[in-house]
Structure 1
Amino acid sequence: MPVINLQTYINAPVEDCFNLSRSVDMHLQSMQSHQEKAIAGITTGLMNLQDTVTWKATHFGLPFKMTVQITEMRYLEYFVDQMVSGPFKWFRHYHAFQAKGNGTLMLDEFVFKSPLSWLGKLVDRWVLKTYLHNLLQQRNEVIKQAAENVANTIRRADEYQHPMC
């Protein structure tokens, strides 16, 4: 099975990164170019353990529906979402968060398998792995920008209230 591993450093607190990563609204923002919509389950706000969401999106010019569930979660450390139904034979996305200096190291491990036996293996290796890697990087960049904007706004407000003499 193909595995995609990403590391994204974000200059923001773990809590902000963790919450933005499980936000349906943030996911929708990061996938605007794919006309993604949340159509069932949790359709707005933060997902928690055992919550499901059904996504409707367009990829490769084709409409897709996929339902995922948060199957594991340890607050501020990690969560896992897995496909319940959809176009893959199987997928599991592990999201981990580690405090690093004044920021957060966000780790992703995305493991997936397409249907269609040997043809699915070829599609996974030659098409989907790169496509999904780019999709996850795009998503992480939107999370990074949002978290760092929030963190910078809070820092500026704190400096305003407590100016250095």
Structure 2
Amino acid sequence: MSAVIEVVSVINAATGTVFDLERDVDVHAESLAGSRETATTTTGRRQLTLGDEVTFRARHFGLRWRMTSRISAYNRPHHFVDEQTRGPFRALRHEHHFEDLGDGRTRMTDRMTIRAPFGPVGAVTTRIVLAPYLKRLLTKRAVHIKRLAEQVG
């Protein structure tokens, strides 16, 4: 069973600015510094683009986690998608959508779909523990992106 998590933010900055901050692995790491998040790309570039792979390492729930995702869809500045290729989930798909609202404002929508391993136990754990936890992380990240984008734009 999948869980869908969605966080929507309105940001007072141009769509391209918000898009570029969202795909920057250094900004990603900064936004989740509390979990000692790091992000390493296969290309060495900090700005992700179609086909790039990125490996995230972090500490959550007192455990070290490692997950690799690939950018599977990319249409600057409107959306991109990253999908887990290796990691703790049975499946993870993270869609990033950016809508120009006019007047220099952008609606940023993060939609994450996850499926945990371990059948019914994983489904319950996802609903009770993982989905709320991941929603808090996405919200924290969105607040960070908003702050940076509004400083720049």
Question: Shorter-normalised TM-score: what interval?
Answer: over 0.9
Cα distance in 1 between the residues matched to 2:89 and 2:19:
25
Cα distance in 1 between the residues matched to 2:85 and 2:8:
26
TM-score (norm 1): 0.88
| RMSD over aligned Cα atoms | 1.1
Shift of 1:42: 4.4
Equivalent of residue 133 in structure 1, options 132, 135, 153: 135
Cα distance in 2 between the residues matched to 1:15 and 1:39:
23
Residues 28 and 42 of structure 1: CA distance in aligned 2, closer, same or farther (over 3 Å): farther
Q: Which runs of 5+ in 2 are unaligned?
A: none
Aligned AA (1:18): F
What is the SS of the residue equivalent to 1:124? helix
Q: Between Structure 1 and Structure 2, whose CA radius of gyration is higher?
A: 1
Count of aligned positions: 151
- Does the 8 A contact of 1:24 with 1:43 survive in 2? no
Deviation string, structure 1 residues 67-101 (Cα, Å, up to 9, x no partner): 01100011111000000100001010110101113
Cα distance in 2 between the residues matched to 1:28 and 1:44:
14
Cα distance in 1 between the residues matched to 2:68 and 2:19:
21
Shift of 1:41: 1.9
The percent identity for this pair of structures is: 36
Task: Check if 1:41 corresponds to 2:52.
Answer: no
TM-score (norm 2): 0.95
Q: Which runs of 5+ in 1 are unaligned?
A: 152-165
Cα distance in 1 between the residues matched to 2:134 and 2:43:
23
